[in-house]
Amino acid sequence: MFIDVNVANCTGDVLEAAGRLYFKFIACNDLREPLETRSLVAIPRFVLKATSVTELKNMLSTQGGIAYTAVTPLSLQTARWSTHDSRVNVIIMNDENIEFFDVKQFRAMKTHNKPLEISLKSLLALDDVKRGQAYRRINLALRMNISLIVGSGAEHWWELYHPRAIISLLKTLYDVPEPVALASITTRPYQIISEKLQLTRGKVGRDE
């Protein structure tokens, strides 16, 4: 059961391609309600970028919990604070905020069971310096038993990756063990997706 938690647009071409690549669930930025096709289920994805805690609190107050909610912290304060808010499903690390991910950040994430999300598209675009920083932080997170979740970051259907390619890239470029790489696109994101689907069904039941 493969899952891509980071897709920009759920166009017909993207949905069709994702199904052909054996994805059963995807999370899309342009959705507001879940969408089901013959081959997969797509759910809404909110990405919240915030510099201040107040700004992040305001953003979180506008979403009802059904969407897969990812935070890209743009300050040390928001990085720390986002670890303990239950409305935040994952914390994104990319080239904008990589310096905030240190032992203290990962310790807080571990305490509050907050997964680390990375985008394959973002990783492949890093320069040599940032790639080295990402390598060290990803492996530090794994040593500290932080759950890793990986999405494609695809904006178009041709930017989707076959699950085996994702596992191979993570293993080859970042020394992510194969079982961990596999879990990052299966069991780890499914824990979040399944909760979101239960919330959706509960909401539908109350509305009927």
Q: What is the pLDDT of residues 74-117, one digit of tens each?
A: 999 999 999 999 999 999 999 999 999 999 999 999 999 999 99
Report yes or no: 48 and 72 within 8 Å, Cβ to Cβ. Answer: yes
Report the C-alpha gap between 32 and 201 in whole angstroms. Answer: 15
Helix, strand, coil in percent for the chain, rounding step 5? 50, 20, 30
Beta-carbon-side half-sphere exposure of residue 42 (alpha carbons within 13 Å): 24
pLDDT at 202: 53
Report the C-alpha gap between 113 and 52 in whole angstroms. Answer: 22
Report the C-alpha gap between 91 and 137 in whole angstroms. Answer: 13
Kindly indicate the confidence band of residue 64, based on its pLDDT and cuts at 50, 70 and 90: low
Beta-carbon-side half-sphere exposure of residue 68 (alpha carbons within 13 Å): 33
Q: How many of the other CB atoms lie within 10 Å of CB of 111? A: 10
pLDDT at 88: 95
Q: Please, is 146 exposed, middle or buried when counting C-beta atoms within 10 Å of its C-beta (0-12, 13-18, 19+)?
A: buried
Report the C-alpha gap between 80 and 109 in whole angstroms. Answer: 8
Report the C-alpha gap between 205 and 23 in whole angstroms. Answer: 27
Domain harbouring 98, CATH code: 3.20.20.140
**Across residues 176-181, what is the average pLDDT?**
97
**Across residues 51-65, what is the average pLDDT?**
88
- pTM comes to 0.92
pLDDT at 201: 62
How does pLDDT run across 6-28, given as a tens digit for each residue? 999 999 999 999 999 999 999 99
User: Which of 4-13, 48-57, 64-73, 128-137 has the lowest average pLDDT?
Assistant: 64-73
pLDDT at 32: 86
How many domains does the structure of the chain reveal?
Answer: 1
Write out the residue range of the structural domain in which residue 141 sits.
Answer: 2-207
